Amino acid sequence: MKLLLENWRKFITEMEEPITTLRIFDFDETIAHTRSETRVKAPDGTEATLHDQKEFEAYMREAAAEEGITAFDPVDDLIELGYDIDLSDFATVKDPEEITLVTDIMREFPPDSKTFVMTARRGKSLGPILDYLEEIGIDSSQVRPMATQGESKGSAIATMLGQKIMPDGKSNVHRVEYYEDSQKNIDDVLRKVCENPELDDIKPLDFELVINKVINNEGQYNIQQIECNS
Ligand SMILES: [Mg+2]
């Protein structure tokens, strides 16, 4: 949470520049395919290895339902209940395969835009992610890293819209381009940024949210665009 706040603070001071577009990239399975696994041991002794985001989300959703947990991110509550959840693979970038369909877009930095990597990873994951970007030839000094530590990306983006309000009462952000593979996160961003009536007053009339869903079909990637003009 501390890193997230630090990055917001940096974001505010940078708002002196004329920024109209935010480009926000998820990391795992959006910028790179990695071999990160999550190993879980439930209090009843059953063990599971979750190989990807889909398996991770399915396991957490089921366990949360079983335990009556309603938090957006149930991991902390499950740990408290005695689940042993090993996320250590996510402290590094493990066996990455670059998803060039996305990184080719990322490495062009359009004027009047700011580029973010927004990961739900926990802990000290941002250093390895920035190192990896350098490795694949992306100037990491032009990228602002944010770790939501499992918390809602929709809330984080909604907060970013409210950070700089122009004299007409509207946000300086006219366009958000969001690259993401997780349907859970996409649904959350649609709810909290696209359909959120609380943002109606600050959204410029031409506000656009363009969600680029990164889909992996057995190693063949494509992007499905989901638009919101509300
Ligand atoms: Mg992802």
- Chain segment 26-63, per-residue pLDDT in tens: 999 999 999 989 999 999 999 999 998 889 999 999 99
CA of 215 to the centre of ligand 1 (A): 10
pLDDT over threshold 80, residue 17: no
Claim to verify: residue 173 and residue 62 sit in the same structural domain: no
| Cα→Cα distances 147→121, 126, 159, 225, Å | 6, 7, 14, 24
Residue 180 vs residue 227, higher pLDDT: 180
Q: From ligand 1's centre to the CA of 43, what distance in Å?
A: 28
Q: Are residues 57 and 134 located together in one domain of the fold?
A: no
18 with 121, same domain?
yes
Q: Ligand 1 centroid vs 183 CA: distance in angstroms?
A: 9
**Residues 26, 63 within the same domain:** no
Residues 177 and 87 both lie in one domain: no
Question: 73 alpha carbon to ligand 1 midpoint, in Å?
Answer: 15
When pLDDT is averaged across residues 85-112 and rounded to a whole number, the result is 94
Q: What are phi and psi of 24, to 5 degrees?
A: -125, 120
Are residues 63 and 6 part of one domain? Answer: no
pLDDT attached to residue 20: 93
pLDDT band at 10 (very low <50, low <70, confident <90, very high): low
DSSP bridge pairs for 180: 213
Cα 168 to ligand 1 centroid, rounded to whole Å: 36
Average of per-residue pLDDT values in the chain: 91
CATH code (residue 151): 3.40.50
For residue 207, the enclosing domain spans: 2-33+96-229
pTM: 0.86
Give me the number of domains the chain comprises. Answer: 2
- Ligand 1 centroid–CA 115 distance in Å is 17
**Which strands, in side-by-side order, build the sheet including 84-86?**
47-50, 38-41, 84-86
